[in-house]
A and B are shown apart, each in its own frame.
Chain A
């Protein structure tokens, strides 16, 4: 701000002290004026300082944006990734052709796009899908509901889709369960969960976005409890049953959970929210699902995690290999709190102890609390929800897998998003810190022709093609043995900063990694998606193992995500390294160490599709030979289709 007194002498502040000594009766006005202007200048300086004191985040801005695909778009040419040292004999490093002055990319054609559709993952016939809703088992059928846009392959106009299955794999589409036909869900029939009552009746609680865009909770139930297909649903006439409580924003109140019984015989639910930047889970008790009392305390809260969406809360047994009904509590039981973080679009969980009396929960390990610790899945996976399958006594997990291509491609192909294969969830007794996820056993029924490969030796720096016929619908179970001598001999280094996400992918050679499989790869390896282990040895001699999925060379197309996903995976003494991969066209689900660390990714090759897709074993380590034994199966389609003759 310009100085409003340009005529002010520079040394006015000095002037005032000079002048005080000179104060005489002869020039009182000058004294007054000088003091006045002196104070004024000081005041103006103060005003300027205060105005400029706001946080200047500008310097940090590029840091924030680096992660997003968007901002790197025009900066690509200047920010080349460093080429890795020493190309391996087999897995040669190709300079990233995206900005290597190569030919421009082909626009998506129908062959490429139609290939992307999955054969055995749940997806509606067309248009957009997101969160799984209200999964349950009832009268012989597994039910699955989901967030659906009936009008376009982008998010919007959300209603509830519905499908049923006898085995969690072969799904039959049913009519929409609920549409946005009330004022309290006019702007969206959003996520919700089912609770099965003592008498077997079902209640559904879901979030509605009202005509004003306020998030409220509504009650719905089957129109006909004798209809095993639960086709028609009725909304409680006096909805909403819950509105945002004082102190909670109208846009921060959504995704009610399945209810569980308290020791007082009331039903209890939790709903995610936030206060400033702290993610929280609110708790409500109810007897009738119509009237609720909010508990004073929160189930849990973690500062800095932002809005908690799709909160889930459930017990796991520390000793048994089966799932637990949601209300179970007692000895040998831990409780899991899970939240989907709106800020980073990842699902986090933590294992801890539930206190029924005051409706609170504390994590076993606060340093890996909800939102700052373990994730269900280190790839593209969100809004996950579990349910107790009383049919087979297991806890089953659903997760929404979005697209990582451009919306233009989605619009062209006419659909977007799939669901993961449902996974069983168990407490990992061996580590005590992780949950184990594994595709439900019913998926094995899709296995067709199988092939076994025993003790395939993969030398450092080599690629071994696997002779299997088609490679776009596969189940692969692989085990890797490494020379313990080589591990001992390897020098520990300060490679301690390794992280799948920031690494150079499968082309970055280390002493003890990477090695694993290349899927959706063409013969020339011009497109490839490595799923692999990377081991590091710290200066203290301790080994760490990372499990990664590298999309950086998965496709020649430039408008798809090229990030590298992955994380640390605990490997216990005596364990071989194991991977299970489900390849289903444009989705890859990879399970490390029996499901201790899981990565789901979406890949959109332009060449490695249809008959041109192949699988390879690879070992790009410099000081390690690896022996792999694996079984591969062709996978049949699940023939997901509309329910016949409804």
Chain B
């Protein structure tokens, strides 16, 4: 009898340990569940988890983190464009034209889309957050196809595009589920 009690007790303790991952890493679950509903799971996971604020975040906050990531990536891309443009004479006119157009588009992402998304997330008129995120993706893509031959920005354009799409997906999750 005593053995039985010991078994049951030990059993319960171990069960608690087995379930602990679910209890304590509850938010891990939210990040994973959220990212599964976006088209770029790995990028989504990586972007969110690398930001410490995602730990106890609501879905709305996850969206905001994604937008911060968008701003960072877009700014890096714009810096690269500026660098390339400074090569000046070494550039052929078509490349120059494409880079200038890209600079305009990235300015719009950073100064138009990102603030629009942030204000919309703050005030809860989510369709404007979706609009801003979708537009950022369009701008990144439009930049990419400006280059008649090889684009020097392919990787960065893809990242900005994909991050924007993920942000738009997360906004859609907010819109179509509970209020947070």
Question: Which residues of A come within 8 Å of B, CB atoms?
Answer: 1, 28, 32, 35-36, 39-40, 43-44, 47, 50-51, 54-58, 61-62, 64-65, 68-71, 73-74, 103-105, 107, 152-157, 187-188, 190, 209, 213, 215, 249-252, 254, 274, 276-277, 306-307, 342-343, 345, 406-408, 411-412, 558-559
Is B91 at the interface (CB under 8 A from chain A)? Answer: no
**Nearest residue, chain B, Cβ from A559:** B142
Judge whether A154 and B41 touch: CB under 8 Å. Answer: no
Q: Provided the pairs A39-B11, A57-B37 are in contact, do residues A70 and B165 lie with their beta carbons within 8 angstroms?
A: yes
CB distance from A422 to the nearest CB of B (A): 24
Name which residue of chain A comes closest to B16, CB basis.
A43
A306 to B177 alpha-carbon distance, docked (Å)? 8
A47 touches B19 (CB 8 A): yes
Interface-central residue, A44, A58, A345, A407, by most chain B CB under 10 Å: A407
Q: Does B116 contact A (CB under 8 A)?
A: yes
Given A107-B101, A407-B112, A558-B145, A51–B11 Cβ distance below 8 Å? no
> Cβ of B175 and Cβ of A342 under 8 Å apart?
yes
Q: Is the CB of B11 within 8 A of A156?
A: no
Whole-angstrom distance between the Cβ of A259 and the nearest chain B Cβ: 24
15 A-B pairs with C-beta separation under 8 A: A32-B3, A39-B11, A40-B15, A51-B22, A69-B137, A73-B137, A73-B161, A74-B144, A251-B126, A251-B179, A306-B176, A408-B104, A412-B104, A558-B142, A558-B145
CB nearest neighbor in B for A103? B148
Cβ contacts under 8 Å, B21 to chain A: 1, 47, 51
Question: Would A43 and B126 be within 8 Å (CB), given that A61-B37, A408-B104 are in contact?
Answer: no
Q: In the complex, what residues of A have CB within 8 A of residue B116's CB?
A: 154-156
The answer to whether B139 touches A188 (Cβ under 8 A) is no
Interface centre among B11, B21, B146, B148 (most CB of A within 10 A): B11
Given contacts A39-B11, A62-B39, A252-B124, contact A70 B133 (CB under 8 A): yes
Asked if B156 is an interface residue, CB under 8 A from chain A, the answer is no
Q: What residues on B are CB-neighbors of A153 within 8 Å?
A: 112
One of A209, A277, A406 near B142 (C-beta < 8 A):
A406
Q: Are the C-beta atoms of A277 and B176 separated by less than 8 Å? A: yes
Smallest beta-carbon distance A528→chain B, Å: 22
Question: Does B71 touch A at the CB level, under 8 Å?
Answer: no
Bound together, the chains give a CA A317 to CA B36 distance in angstroms of 50
Q: Which residues from 85 to 107 on chain B have a C-beta closer than 8 Å to any C-beta of chain A?
A: 97-98, 101, 104-105
A620 to B21, CA, bound (A): 63
Q: Give the complex CA separation of A1 and B38 in angstroms.
A: 24
With A1-B21, A215-B124 as contacts: A73 and B10 at CB distance below 8 Å: no
Q: Are A251 and B123 in contact (CB under 8 A)?
A: yes
Chain A residues closer than 8 Å to B18, beta-carbon distance: 40, 43-44, 47
CB distance from A23 to the nearest CB of B (A): 11
Question: Which of these, A251, A276, A559, contacts B124 with CB under 8 Å?
Answer: A251
Q: How far is the CA of A288 from the CA of B41 in the complex (A)?
A: 53
Chain B contact residues, CB within 8 Å of chain A: 3, 6-7, 10-11, 14-15, 18-19, 21-22, 29, 32-33, 36-39, 41, 97-98, 101, 104-105, 108, 112-113, 115-116, 119-120, 122-128, 131-135, 137-142, 144-148, 158, 161, 164-165, 168-169, 172, 175-179
Chain A hits for B147, CB < 8 A: 104
Cβ–Cβ < 8 Å partners of A64 in chain B: 37, 169, 172
Shortest beta-carbon distance from B40 to chain A in Å: 9
Q: A54-B29, A107-B101, A342-B126 are in contact. Are A74 and B120 (CB under 8 A)?
A: no
Verify B165–A277 contact, CB threshold 8 A. no
Is the CB–CB distance between B141 and A58 below 8 Å?
A: no
Q: Which of A32, A39, A70 has the most CB of B within 10 A?
A: A70
B112 in contact with A411 (CB, 8 Å): yes
Residues of A within 8 A of B161 (CB): 70, 73-74
- How near does chain B come to A65, taking the closest CB pair, in angstroms? 5
Given A71-B137, A251-B125; 11 other pairs, CB 8 A cutoff: A40-B15, A47-B15, A50-B22, A54-B29, A57-B36, A104-B148, A306-B176, A342-B127, A343-B172, A406-B138, A407-B108
Given contact pairs A32-B7, A36-B10, A71-B39, A152 touches B123 in the complex (Cβ within 8 A): no
**Hey, which chain B residues are within 8 Å of A152, CB to CB?**
112
Q: B132's contact among A51, A73, A154, A249, by CB below 8 Å, is which?
A: A154
Task: Give every chain A residue within 8 A of B126 (Cβ-Cβ).
Answer: 251, 342
Partner of B7 from the list A35, A44, A343 (CB cut-off 8 Å) is A35
Q: Please determine whether A345 and B112 come into contact, CB atoms closer than 8 angstroms.
A: no
Partner of B141, one of A28, A39, A47, A74: A74
Complex Cα gap A408–B74 (Å): 14
